[in-house]
Chain A
Amino acid sequence: MIKGMSLSFLLCLMFVVSDSRAWGFSLLLSDDFSKTLSFRRMARLVSERTSIDFSKASVVERYSLLKGFDGLTQMWLILPSLEPLMVSASGDAPKLLRNDTVHWLLRGGFLFVETPKSVEVLSKTLLSHPVFARRGARLGPVEVGHELLQSYYLIDGMPACSSFRWAELRFDGRMMALFAPPGFMNALSDSPSGDSQGCFAAFEKEPLMRAMINTMMVVLTTDYKKDQIHLPEILKRMR
C-alpha cells in the first residue's frame, strides 16, 4: 500500500507544472462587461481538454474602448455590444463601423461581439463601410457545415435561442468577426447571474464550453481542416 501511494505520489509529481506560466492565452474583454466576470473554470477546462495553454497569471484582461483600436496590439477582443464600435460621420448619416476598428481588423484582429441584431441588419450595417463594400466582405449566418461546428467538437449548431442566430463576418479569407447572441459570455463565466445570461440561462454549461472551444480553435487555426479534406489531392500534386 505504501508502495502504491508512493508510486501514485510520484506519478502525480510528473504532472505537476511548477512554473507560473506567464506565457499562454488570455481573453481580452472590453470593460463594458461586468467587472466581476471570471473565467477561471473555463480556462481550466480548456487547458485540460485541449493543447491551448491558458495563462495562469491572467485568464482575462480588460480593455477600455476609450483607448481606441490604434494602440491595441492584441488580436482578440470580446464585446457585449456592437454599439460602441459604430459611429456616424455626421448628423443623420447612417452609422458605420469605426475606422480604427476596421484598421485593427485589417491588421489581423478578431472581434467576438454579443449582439441582438439579426444577420440582415448586421449585414446592412457593417458591409456599408467602404472598405468592406469595396473588397468583397461577406456577412452570413453560421450554418450547417460551417467550420465552427467541426473544428474540435462535432456539434450540430452553435448554442442559440430561436430568435437569435450566430453570424460571421468573412473577409480577407478568414473569419474576421463572430456575432453571438447576448449573454453568451455571462453564461460561460464561473458565476453567471440569472438575468445576464439572456436566453442561455436554460443551457447546460457543456454546449457553451464546446462552442467556445470550437470558436477558439477556428480563430487560432483558421481553416486548416480544409487542408486535410484536400490532402490526398495536394499530395498527388506535389509528386
Chain B
Amino acid sequence: MEMLLQMDQHVLLLGCCVLVVVIYGCLWVFRYGPIVGSLAALMRGLWLLPFLTLLIPQKRVITQALALQTPSIAVLIDDSQSMKSSSLFNLSALSRGESFVEALKSFCVMYSCRVEVEYASRLDPAFLSTRTPLRRVFEDFLLKNQDRPWFLISDGGVEDPMATRKWQYPLFSGDDGSQWPGFVVGFAKEEQRNISLQDLSIDELGFSGSPVLINVAVLRSDLSESSQTIQLAVLVDGQRELTRNIRFDDHSHIQNVQLQLIQKSKGVKLIEVQALPLPAEEEVWDNRLLASVEILPHTSSLLHIQGNPGVDGRFLRRFLKMDPRFDVISFFILRDPWDVPAGEDRELSLIPFPVDKLFNEELEHFQAVILQNFRLSEFISPRQQKQLQDYVEAGGSILFLGGPRAFHISDLLYSPLEKMIPFALPGGMANMSSFLTDSFVSNSLNNQERPGLPWYDAELSYSLEAAPLSEEAQSSPAISLYNSVLSLKDSLQNIPSLEGMHRMEDMKFSSVGYLPILNGRLSSQKDIPFLSASYLGKGRLIWVFSDALWQVAMNSQRWDSSRDTYNALLSRLLQWLTRDEKTPPLAVERFDVFKRGDSLEWSASLSGVLVPHIKKHVSSSIEILVCAQMRKDYVLSFPSKELMLVKGEFSHIFSPQNRLQQGSSDQPSELSRCDFSLTVSHAEFGEEVAQAKASLPKLYDDNTLPASARVLEAVADMTKSLLVMNPDGLTKDVRTSLQAYFAKERSSWQLKEEQDDNAYWFFEHWLYSVFLLAMPLEVIIRRRLFGMWQ
C-alpha cells in the first residue's frame, strides 16, 4: 500500500487505464472470440493511446517579450535668440529645425517609434537671453539619453566655443562599447575660408634656456588654392615670442607643425598659439589654442662646504664642476682655528669663511647644501644652525657626507642637527654627559671608537648592497630615488670593497619619512646603513655615512666606466635633492576653467607617484590657489592609482559687481588668465607644489557669434556623431542609420522564458490521427467481423 502511495499518480492512472483495456480485451475475447476480441482490444488500445499520453505531459519552454517595446528618439532643440533670428532661405533656423522634427515624426509613424522633444530654454532660461550656454544643457541631455538615439538641433552659436574641444563628459558609446546613433543637425553657413588649430601639445615641463617643443595641427577648409601661406604666432603670457610661416602645398588641408620656444625665466607660463586670420575669415575663435608649461631653472645652485681638504672632496667637486646643470660655490676649511700657518696673513691666500653672509643672507638662494665631513659646531653658531634647519624645513635640501669630522657629538646633541638627523642615539641622554666630557677633554675631532656614537671607522671594509625595504617603505615617495640608485646595482656590486664608514649599526632610525637605500655589508655579512634619504618638513635630505664614495670611481673593475658609475650615482642623488626629476612626483596634466551659468567651474587633473600618498594621508595639508584665490571648497577624487582630480566652482562670479566680469554683451573682454597652484605637504614626503595656468573663457553672445559650423563640427567630433548641415528633411544617411538601429533593436528586445507542462504534445504530431483511425476500426471489428464470423 505504501508503495502504491509513493508512485506518481499519473503513472498510477495510466496503469489503471491499461488494466481496464486489458479487462475489456479479456471480456471481448470471451464474447467475440479470440481473434475478433484481440483485434478489437488492440484497436481500443490504439485509439486510447493518444488520450493516455495526456497523463504523461512533456516540459516545454516558452519565450515571450516582457512588455510591448516602443523605441524612442530624443531631440534637443537650441532655441536661443540666434536660432530665432537667423534666416536662411527666408526661414529661421528654429523653424527649419522644427520642420526637421516633423520629418522625424513621420519617419517614426512607419517604424513605431516616438520622438521626444526638449527645448533648451526650458532646461536653462539663459537661452532666452543673448547667450547660449549649450555645454551644460547638452551634457545633461546626453546623461538622460544614454540608451537611445538623439538629435541636437543647433546653429552652433555657443557662448564658449573654445570649450567645445574640452568637454570632459564621455559623450559617446554605451557600456558595452556599442554606439547608439547620435546626430548633430546644424543650421549655419558653412564658411568657405577658415583656418583652425587643433591638437596642441606641449611638454608639461621645460628648462630655461632649453627648447620647449610645441606641436600643433593647422587646418584649412578652403582647398581651392593649391598653395597658401599662414602665419603662426606663439605668445608667452601675452607677449609675442615667435612667429612662423606655414605653407600649404598641393591642396593639402592639414599641416602638422613643430615649433621650438626657448624660455630663459623660470615659472609657469601660458603659451598661446595663434594663426593669423585669412581675409574675410568670419570665425576666428578657432584660430588660437592655449596650454600651460612650467619652466624649471636650467641650473641648480649648490653650496658645498667641506670640513677639510680630502680625497672625497676632490672627486665630488670634479663632478659638480663638470656638470653644467650645477652652479657650485665650494668652501674648504683649509685651516682649523688652532692651526698655525707659519706665515703672516699677507702671505696667505686664505679668506675668512663667510658664514654670516652665507647663512644669514644667501642660504635660501641655494637649492641644495652639501656638507662634507663637516663639523657644524666648529664654525657655525647655534643660531645659524637653526637657520639651516629652517632652510630645510622650508623646502631646502641637504646632502650630508660623512668622514672623520662628521657626526661629532657636539653636533648631535643640543643642536639643530639633532632635529635633522634621521636617527637617534641609543641609550638616550643618560650616556651623553659622559660623552660630552670626554669630548671636551680630548678635544677630539672625531668620535673615538665608542659604542653608541656614529664614530668613523677608517679601517672598516665593506661592499655595497641594496637595502631591503619593508612593505610600507616600498610605497615611500622617495622610492623613485631608491629605484634610480638601484639601477646602478650591478656596477656598485662590482666594486670589491670600500674602506671607511661610520658605525651606524647601533643607531635607531626613524620609521617615518626615512628610507634606507644602500647598505655596507661587512665580511661577517652584517649590514650597516651606508646611504639613506629622509624628509624634514618640506625639505629633503640624503645621508652618506662615509667619505668613501670616491672609491667607487677608483675601485671599479672597468676603467672606462668607473667614473660613469660615480657620476651617475651623484647625479641621481642631486637630481632628487634639487627636485630636478624628469618626472616630478606631482604635476598638473590638465587645468581648465569653464563658464557654467553664472559660475566659473575649474578642474585640474594631477598625476605622479605622490598621488597614492596624498590619498593615503587624507589629513595631509592641501592648499589650492585658483585665480589668485585660496579655495577650500573643492572636490577631490582619485579615479586611478596615480591620478587625482580636483575641481570647484566660483559661484555667481559673472555678475556686474564681480571683478571677473567678462564684459558687456556687445564686446567680449580680452582673455584673462587664471593660475592654479596646489601645494601638498606631509611628514612622509615633505612638500610638493604643482602649478598650471589657463585662460578664463572668452565668452560670445548671440550677436557676436550667432552661428558656427566649426562648433558643430567640433561637437560632432567630440560625440562621434553624424553631422548633418542645413538639411531640408531627413537625409538618406539619417534614415539609413535609424533603420539599421531599429532593426538591431528589435532583434535584441528583452524576452523571458517560461517552462510549463505540455499535455497535448502527442497531438502536435500528425501521427495522432493515425491512432484515432483505430476508433472506427474497433467498431467495425466488433460489429461486422463478429457478425460475419458468427
A88–B470 Cα gap in the complex (Å)? 57
Chain B residues within 8 Å of A19, by CB: 442, 444, 446, 448-449
Q: Shortest 9 CB-CB distances between A and B: which pairs? A: A23-B458, A220-B309, A103-B559, A51-B308, A224-B330, A238-B301, A238-B365, A150-B349, A221-B332
Please state if B442 and A173 are interface contacts (CB–CB under 8 Å).
no
Q: Is the CB of A17 within 8 A of B342?
A: no
CB contacts under 8 Å to A, within B438-475, are 440-446, 448-449, 456, 458-459
Whether B555 lies near A106 (C-beta < 8 A) is: no
Q: Which residues of B contact A17 (CB under 8 A)?
A: 442-445
Are B341 and A70 touching (Cβ within 8 A)? no
23 interchain pairs, CB-CB under 8 A: A14-B440, A14-B443, A17-B444, A19-B444, A19-B446, A19-B449, A49-B341, A49-B342, A50-B334, A50-B339, A104-B559, A108-B315, A108-B550, A109-B554, A152-B350, A153-B343, A172-B318, A174-B318, A219-B314, A220-B314, A237-B301, A237-B327, A238-B362
CB contact under 8 A between A15 and B443, given known A73-B555, A239-B365: yes
Chain A nearest CB, measured from B671 CB (Å): 31
A52-91 with Cβ < 8 A to chain B: 52-53, 70, 72-76
Tell me whether B618 is interfacial, beta carbon within 8 Å. Answer: no
Interface residues on A, range: 35 or more
CB-contact partner of A224 in B307, B310, B311, B332, under 8 A = B332
Interface on B for A, CB 8 Å cutoff? 299, 301, 306-311, 313-315, 317-318, 321-322, 327-336, 338-343, 346-351, 362, 365-366, 404, 440-446, 448-449, 456, 458-459, 500, 550-551, 553-556, 559-560, 562-563
Question: CB within 8 Å of B: which residues of A?
Answer: 13-19, 21-25, 45, 48-53, 70, 72-76, 103-104, 106-109, 150-154, 172-174, 206, 210, 216-217, 219-225, 227-228, 231, 234-235, 237-239
- Please indicate the chain B residues that have their CB under 8 angstroms from the CB of A74 in the complex: 554
Residues of A within 8 A of B500 (CB): 23
A73 contact set on B, CB distance < 8 A = 551, 554-555
The chain A residue sitting closest to B403, CB to CB, is A23
Q: How far is the CA of A113 from the CA of B609 in the complex (A)?
A: 53
Residue numbers in A under 8 Å from B404 (CB-CB) = 23-24, 53
Q: Are B559 and A107 in contact (CB under 8 A)?
A: yes
Chain B residues with CB below 8 A from A52, complex form: 308-309
User: A222 contacts which of B317, B340, B346, B556 (Cβ < 8 Å)?
Assistant: B317
The distance in angstroms between the C-alpha atoms of A32 and B442, with both chains bound, is: 40
B349:A153 contact, CB within 8 angstroms: yes
Give A109's nearest chain B residue, CB to CB: B554
Which residues of chain A are within 8 angstroms of B351 by Cβ–Cβ distance?
A: 228
CB-based contact A173/B321 at 8 Å? yes
**Are A216's CB and B309's CB within 8 A?**
yes
Q: Which residue among B334, B351, B550 has the maximum number of chain A CB atoms within 10 Å of its CB? A: B334
A92 to B295, CA, bound (A): 59
Q: Assess whether B334 is in contact with A106, with CB atoms less than 8 Å apart.
A: no
Answer whether A51 and B333 are a contact pair too, CB < 8 Å, given A17-B442, A153-B349, A221-B313. Answer: yes
* Chain A residues positioned under 8 Å from B340 (CB to CB): 48-49
* Bound-complex Cα distance A150 to B329 (A): 18
State the CA gap A21–B442 with chains docked (Å). Answer: 13
In contact, B342 and A107 (Cβ under 8 angstroms): no
Knowing A48-B340, A173-B321 are in contact, say whether A153-B347 is a contact too (CB < 8 A). yes
B561 and chain A: residue at smallest CB distance: A107
